[in-house]
Chains A and B, each alone.
Chain A
Amino acid sequence: MFLMKKTVEQLQDSAIIPIGTYWQLVRRRFLKHRLALLGLIFLVIVTAFSLLGPLFIKTTYDEFDLSSIFAPPFSKNHLFGTDELGRDVLVRVMYGGRISLFVGFVSSLITTAIGLLVGLISGYFGGIVDRLLMRFVDVMLSIPLFPILLILTMVFGSGLTNTIMVLSVFGWMGVSRLVRGVVLSIRENEYIMAARVLGTSKLKVLFKHILPNAMPITIVSMTLNLSYAILSESSLSYLGLGIQPPTPSWGNMLQRSMNYILSTGHSNTVPWWLVFFPGFMIFITVLSVNFLGDGLRDALDPKFVSEA
């Protein structure tokens, strides 16, 4: 927790901001960031909506009712309307949220963990290990991401686990670069030297003294990965290569919606709600995560902007 002391000292020097522990300061800075707070609140609401929502509604996501297909929003029993099989869009959005959020959280956890590990190793051990790893990262980064994701789904197949795997394989490079940068700048500090001189083992120095300093940037990168994972999963699922129906995800709910919109376009009302609601959920979730990430960046370390 050296970062903590350093920050507090700096703040004491400037004597403008009231003094507290590192996390107290983080919380204070975060709460001041209105958009980030809004993002956090929305994210909690969306998660609660997806996890708890289905408990209050009797129908399930695959229960169809052919007597009321394409019911518009705000109609009886169907707040978000119904789809081509008369399935309730609201319920499907809730279940879809469970899947989309699950894929997002799990794959962002995996990518962040891999990135953190690679970054720590690369930055701390340096030399040939560092050069090899970073070259590899360079090459991986210069492969266009979305096209390679398509190829990976073709190779590994679609479905829940495969989607998570595909998103994880090519998602960790950004984090590893950022973490490596932080480790490189921390490594040369006197207290690291002091710890070494005292005979602390390499691993202990790495996990006790360096890791805590790399945590802020890791947390921020994780929010970036989360928004990216949710967007990628939904794009893949929309294209029919991610989560497979009948399991709904926010992406695959849009899959065939366009056919119905084009076919009913001239005679009846356009069933825009098939497209609007699932897409809007993706949008609002990703937006919240991005605001949250921005707020965390400012709150965890004001110097990030110049360091990253």
Chain B
Amino acid sequence: MKRYLIFRLIELIPIFFLISLIIYFVLNAMPGDPLLTSRLENPRALVKDPAKIAELRKYYHLDDPLIVRYGFWLASFIKGDLGFSSMYKQPVLKIILKRLPNTLTLTVTAWLIGLIVAFPIGIYSAVKKYSFFDYFFTVLAFVGISLPTFWFALMAIIVFSVILGWFPISGVQTYGITGSWNIFVDKLKHLTLPALVLGLVQVAYWVRYIRTSLLEVLDQDYIRTAYSKGAQERRVILKHALRNAMIPIITIIALDIPYFFGGALIVETVFSWPGMGRLMYEAVLASDYNLAVNCLMFIAVITLLSNLLADILYAVVDPRIRLGAKAV
């Protein structure tokens, strides 16, 4: 297990380098001189003195080849020096760390909602294969996959916030509320709608995965054996079948974590939820390249870590990998 983990960790390093390289090169495909753009944006920073310009160019390594600049950039990223945001006039790391908890609250809640809804439906659809229930949720899964997230979110706001008035329209909390219990309830109210939207969009995919992998297991000989030994259906499904079906399911669910960040980007924007996704969107709108790229790098790192998590969980639930200790 330990060897397997170390192997996986080492494997992440070159992938991280390649991802950052692609991101950096894409960004540098942009026409224009970064020094010039920043001066155009902020006339007060206009530097006319050629000597000063040369000094700045040297300071930012602007005359070095692309790959050298990439090296400097990556080195400072790893050291945690993410530079300055032109929009907020603050260090990028500080802004990102301030927004990250909001995104985590939203995505984790949405993820849990997704799991709680998807598992019973997926299991029941597999057990009652080709029943009305199964067909109904098959079609509903297609509906879920085809729903544009922003439209779903907007319609949810119109129906539940504007017309019915059950939930607040946007934001994280109402200001001026006192008492820790009241604040908690208020925050929960703000969280409900965005988390539901984000979670339910993912349910459609998961129900299909859970159904398919459980169906595959239910065909196996040992399930028939369990039945013929007289085990109760409930026990066979939950103990014998689901445990084995969990292996692919867990991988998919861990691998889907990054999709939540993509989805969160839209949901956060629609609900004015001050998370990382919205931050990145604001940065893109304001052409704050440094902030936007660092947000992307953060999301990419989270993606890699969730891939690692998927591998670890896979090893935990599947003894063949853990005990074999050989990386596949």
| A contacts, CB < 8 Å to B | 35, 135, 138-140, 142-148, 150-156, 227, 231, 234-235, 238-241, 251, 254, 257-258, 261-262, 265, 270, 272, 275-276, 279-280, 282-283, 286-287, 289-291, 294
Contacts and interface: CB of A to CB of B under 8 A. Distances in A.
A279 B300 contact: no
Contact of B143 (A262, A276, A282, A287): A287
Given A147-B299, A272-B158, 6 more contacts: A147-B261, A150-B265, A151-B27, A154-B292, A270-B163, A286-B148
B15 A142 contact: yes
Contact of A142 (B29, B150, B307): B307
Given A283-B151, A287-B142, A142 B300 contact: yes
B148 A150 contact: no
B258 A144 contact: yes
Interface string B156-180: 0110001100000100000000000
B281 A154 contact: no
Contacts of A251: 148
B145 interface: yes
Interface of B: 15, 18-19, 22-23, 26-27, 29-30, 139, 142-143, 145-151, 154-155, 157-158, 162-163, 169, 258-259, 261-263, 265-266, 269-270, 277, 280-281, 284-285, 287, 289, 292-293, 295-296, 299-300, 303-304, 307
Contacts, number: 135
Nearest to A265: B162
Contact of A35 (B139, B295, B307): B139
Contact of B146 (A140, A142, A261, A286): A286
Contacts of B29: 155-156
A144 B299 contact: yes
Contact of A151 (B18, B259, B296): B296
Contacts of B155: 275-276, 279
B292 A151 contact: yes
Per DSSP, chain A at the interface is: helix
8 contacts: A35-B139, A139-B18, A146-B262, A147-B280, A152-B26, A254-B150, A275-B154, A290-B145
B19 A143 contact: yes
B182 to A, nearest CB: 24
A34 to B, nearest CB: 11
Contact of A155 (B19, B26, B262, B277): B26
A197 B235 CA distance: 58
Nearest to B285: A240
A143 B300 CA distance: 6
B139 A138 contact: no
A3 B15 CA distance: 38
Contacts of B299: 144, 147
Nearest to B289: A154
Contacts of B277: 147
Contacts of B280: 147, 150
A291 to B, nearest CB: 6
